[in-house]
Each structure stands twice: as structure tokens, then as C-alpha cells.
Chain A
Amino acid sequence: QVQVVESGGGVVQPGRSLRLSCAASGITFSTHAMHWVRQAPGQGLEWVAFISSDASDKFYAASVKGRFTVSRDNPKNTVSLQLNDLRPGDTAVYFCGGAAGTVEAPFDIWGQGTLVTVSS
């Protein structure tokens, strides 16, 4: 059974940092590219970041580039998103999504998300 579980969300003050984690099971994790997608309260989906299956490629949305860093640990079947210099506009549910293949492959595996609230 395929399962993806995000964790690490919470309430944080502007300018502070947070680290999100995503644990996957039931898939061959080392062959899956992973994405982070976020959804602000009551709003639509926004792609945030991508990391290839072997971590050789990483891409970021312009809105987070230079502040967020994606990484992965294949032996532990986990992917992480380091969020630095957080802003109120980063408040959202952050979803982890898996794609069997390269950056063009569809995200067919999703977790339930973890809520990040940036507020003073």
C-alpha cells in the first residue's frame, strides 16, 4: 500500500525557519522524483520545488528560490524541505507528491499535507 506522510508543520514567526519532512512507503522511492506543492488557505495549488530521484536536479518556484531547499535521503525513503526566512505569504498546507520518473512525469502519489502558519 502506497503511503506518503508529511510532518514538521506548525506556527512560526516571520523570518524564522522550519523543516518539513515527507516519508514514503510502498513504492521504490529511489526511482521516484518528488515535488512539493502548497495551498494557501482557501486558495489554489502552487508548485514549490522538485528533486530528481538521485537528487542531481533541483528546481524551485521563483517565489521561494533562495529561501527554500529541497533534499532527500533515499535509504530512509524521505524527502525534506527546509524553509528559511519565512513570510506570511508562505502560510499554506504543504503537500509532498511523488512521480515515477523524471521531472515531466505526473505526480500520482500525494500525502495529506502539513500546515505551515507564518504569523507574529
Chain B
Amino acid sequence: QSALTQPASVSGSPGQSITISCTGTSSDIGGYNYVSWFQQHPGKAPKLMIYDVTYRPSGVSDRFSGSKSGNTASLTISGLQADDEADYYCTSYTGTPIPSYVFGTGTKVSVL
């Protein structure tokens, strides 16, 4: 199972909006609505930001939103803040050939 494709880096100024894409196949992103997004600061554990494509866990800012079209999922961060600077990973459930997960290659978000 190949990793999902994300841009290596995305940057924006405080207050701006940015979008991170995550491209997979019909066997993962395109086949299921089980896409999650994680934020990871250096040396820290990943933190769930979005699950099931569009849902935010309790406590996650509504500046974070998710969507999906075909085999590509996207994470949008609006009103960019300094603390948003981190690595972001998408992941998708896949049932082929066995129930498992595939992660994205990761995107470094920089706040200019």
C-alpha cells in the first residue's frame, strides 16, 4: 500500500487560509469516508484534528475543516495562527487487501 501524497510544505501569513491536499486511490480515500487529519508538533504525539472527512473532535478549533472529492481529501486552516506551525498528516482507512490504514507523506506548515 503506497503512502498518500501530500505537498511537502505549505506556508501562509497570520490570518490567511491555507489548504493541504491528500491524494490517494479508489481503494482508500475514494472508497471510504474514513479520512483523518493529524497535527504533530516537533517531538510530540500526533493530535487528531479531523475525522471521518469533515468532523472535528471536541476541543479542536473550528478554524480547521476537512473535505473530500474523489480520491483527494483536503484540510483547510483558516485564520492561520503561529501555533498552527507543525507537521500535518492525513490518513485513510482501507479494506484492501486487509483492513489497515495508510498515512500521507506529511506536510510542513509554516506561518510566515
Contact = CB atoms under 8 A, between A and B. Distances in A.
Contacts of A45: 38, 40, 46, 89, 91, 103, 106
Interface residues of B, number: 27
Given A104-B32, A108-B57, A113-B45, A44 B106 contact: yes
Contacts of A46: 103
Nearest to B52: A106
Interface size class of A (residues with CB under 8 A): 20 to 34
B61 interface: no
Interface in B66-112: 89, 91, 93, 98-106
A42 B23 CA distance: 22
Contacts of A59: 98-100
A111 interface: yes
Contacts of B47: 110
Given A47-B91, A62-B1, A104-B34, A112 B46 contact: no
Contact of A44 (B100, B101, B105): B105
Interface of B: 1, 3, 32, 34, 36, 38, 40, 44-48, 51-52, 57, 89, 91, 93, 98-106
